[in-house]
Amino acid sequence: MSPTCGELRGGDAGAAVTLMGWAFRRRDHGGLIFVDLRDREGVTQCVFNPATGAEAHAAAGRVRGEYVLAVRGTVQARPPGTANPQLPTGEIEVAVGEVRILNESKPLPFHLEEGVEVDEAVRLRYRYLDLRRPRLLRNFLLRDRVYQAVRASLHAAGFVEVETPFLTRSTPEGARDFLVPSRLARGHFYALPQSPQLFKQILMVAGLERYFQIVRCFRDEDLRRDRQPEFTQIDIETAFLDRDDFLPIVEGMIVEVFQAVRGIALPRPFPRLGWDEARARYGSDKPDLRFGLELADCSDLFRDAAFEVFAQAVHAGGVVKALRVPGAGGLSRRDLDGLVEEAKGSGARGMVWVRLAEGGPQASVALFRGDSALTRELAARLGAQPGDLLLLVADAFPLAAEVLGRLRAGLAARLGLIPADLFRPCWVLDFPLLEWSEEEKRWQAMHHPFTAPRDEDVELLWSEPGRVRAKAYDLVLNGQEIGGGSIRIHERRLQQRMFEVLGIGETEARAKFGFLLEALEYGAPPHGGIALGLDRLVAILAGTDSIRDVIAFPKTQKGTCPLTEAPAPVSPAQLAELGLRVEAEEE
C-alpha cells in the first residue's frame, strides 16, 4: 500500500506501507528518531527505532530538513497518551523498517512553517520552496477545484470552451498593450490580448451560441495587490439572451463554485443595485454588503440651516451625505482628526464629526454642540443613539458619497464589523454608457464601444448621450469587483451612432476593428457576456487579500520575476532579426 502522507488513520494499524515525501521536521532522541514526512496531502510521523531497523535509524540520523525520502514500514497505533490531536494522522505513526534517501537538500533560505512573514522578494526568488508552504499549496489545490467547478457548471449549461489567439492586433482605447514584434512582417507588431473581447463576439456571429474560456489576459499598467500584468479571466459570451436571462446563468455558476469549493450556499438571487443607488447608499460602485453603515442624504436639513458651509454646498447643487457609525462615539479626538485627514486625502474640503456623548453632543463645529435643534434633527434622521458617531461631508454628489464610502469601508474593518467567512455578492446595474473625459474633451465608453444602451434610452443617444444607461453589469463580491460585462450592440445603425458619439470616424473604426464590424453585418445574433477575474475570485475563496498568493509565479510590483529575472535583455542578433534597435535611456 502506498498511501499519501495525509490519509492513514487508526483503522490502518498493522498495514505495511510505503510513503514518499519531504522530511518536514526531525526530532532526534538519540535512541528514537521521529521524522514528520510531508507531501501535498499532509504529514505523517515516521519512527526510526534501532531495535527494529538499525540501518534505517542510522540513515535517519543523516536526514536534514527537506530531504526527499521513501520509507517502508508498518502502520501502528501510537502508544497511549502520545497521539497528536493536531494532526489528522495523529493517531498513528509508521514504524520504519527501511528508508531510502531519494535526494538531499541544502538548508533552506527561509522557514516553511506557517506564520513567519518572509520578504516577498525572497519568497518569489525561491518560489518552488514558497509553494511548499501549506498555506500557499492549499491555495493552488483550491484554485484547481475552482477550474473544475467552473468547467462543470458551464458545460452543464451548454457552454463550449474555445481558445482564442494570444498573438493578435492592438486595438484602441483601454489599457496599454504588451507588444510582440513580428519577424516575418518587419516593423509590425502583435499585441497580447487585454481580453478576448472581439473574438468572443465573433464566435457569437459564428454560431457557437454559448462560449467560455479560462484565459490569460495581459495589460501593461501599473501593478497593485489585486492587479498583475498577466491575469486569468473566466470569459463568457452568449447569444439570444438579454441581461435578465443571462445574469442568472452567471449567478448559478458562482453559486456552484462556492458550493463545490467551500461548501457554502450563497443565497439567490444576488441583490441588484443600480449604479446610482450603490453610490448613494454605499459611496461606491463596488459596495461591500457584509456590513451596514449605509450613507444617508441630509441635504434638505441643511438647505436653510445656519451652517453656511453646508447650506452653500446644497444651493450650489451639491449634497450633504452622512454616515452614522454605531458605538463609535468613543473614538479619541486624535482618531477623529485622523478621519478628517483621510476625508481630505480622498478629496473632501472638510468633514464634520459629531459625537453623541453622555453629557451632550460634541462636535468639530460649534453649531452641532450641546442640545442644538440641528443636532436633534440630524440624530432623528439618522436614527442615532447616544454613543454613536456621525460623519458629515458636503460636496458634489459623487465626491461626498465617495469620501464617506471610503471611510465606511475603513471604519468597518477597524471596528471589526466585518464577519469572517461571510460572502455577499451583488450585481451593480445601469451604468452610464458614456463618461465625459475632461482631458480629451470627448465622450468615452465607460465599458467599451460595443456595449448596448438600455432599450428605453436608445433615442437619448441622439439627444443627450450623457444620460444613456448601458446594458452593463458588474459582479461585486465583498466590496471587490470580480467581473463585468454587457449586452453588446448587434445592429449596424446603433454601432455607427456609438462611434459618432465617441468621435471615432468611419475610416478609423474600419481600420481598427473593421473585422468585427464586418462580422456584425453577416447575421450577428443579439449577444452579450461577462468576464470574471478568476484570480480575485480564488483569492476571496482562499481568504487572502493578494492575488499573488493564488498565482503560481507572480510578478513584483515593478513587473519583474525574481525567479527567472524576467524581463531581461536579448542578444543583438535577436534584435537584428526583428529589425529593432534599443535606444539609450535619456537622462
Q: How far is the CB of 123 from RNA (least distance, A)?
A: 8
CA distance 434 to 465: 7
User: Cell triple for residue 362?
Assistant: 460634541
How far apart are CB 472 and RNA at their closest, in Å?
9
For residue 469, give the DSSP letter: B
Nearest CB to RNA, comparing residues 284 and 375: 284
Q: Which is nearer to RNA, 55 or 113 (CB)?
A: 113
Q: Burial-class residue 54 by CB neighbours within 10 Å (0-12, 13-18, 19+).
A: exposed
Q: Which residue, 173 or 300, has its beta carbon nearer to RNA? A: 173
27 SS3 class: strand
Residue 48 or 246 having the CB closest to RNA: 48
In angstroms, the CA 149 to CA 142 distance is 11
Alpha-carbon gap, residue 91 to 315, rounded angstroms: 74
Q: Which is nearer to RNA, 151 or 166 (CB)?
A: 166
Best CA proximity match to 24, nearest among 118, 92, 87, 75: 87
Tallying the residues shown for the chain, one arrives at 587
CB of 554 to RNA, least distance (A): 8
Min CB(140)–RNA separation in Å: 19
Residue 427 host element (H or E): strand 425-429
Cell of 57: 535509524
Which residue's CB is nearer to RNA, number 82 or number 312?
82
Amino acid at 324: R
Q: Which amino acid is located at 378 in the chain?
A: L
Shortest Å distance, C-beta 427 to RNA: 18
Question: CA 283, 218, 168 angle in degrees (round to 5)?
Answer: 130
Residue 304 or 587 with smaller CB distance to RNA: 587
CA distance 147 to 260: 11
Q: How far is the CB of 439 from RNA (least distance, A)?
A: 8
Distance CA 551, CA 566 (A): 16
Contacts of 587 (CB under 8 A, 6+ apart): none
The minimum distance between CB 208 and RNA, in angstroms, equals: 19
Least distance between RNA and beta carbon 60 (Å): 11
Residues that bind RNA (CB under 7 A): 25, 27-32, 34, 36, 45, 47, 49-51, 64-65, 78-79, 81-84, 86-87, 90, 93, 107-111, 113, 116-122, 173-176, 194-195, 197, 219, 221-225, 227, 444-449, 546, 548, 556-558, 560, 562
Rounded Cα distance, 310 and 393, in Å: 8
CB-nearer residue toward RNA: 121 or 156: 121
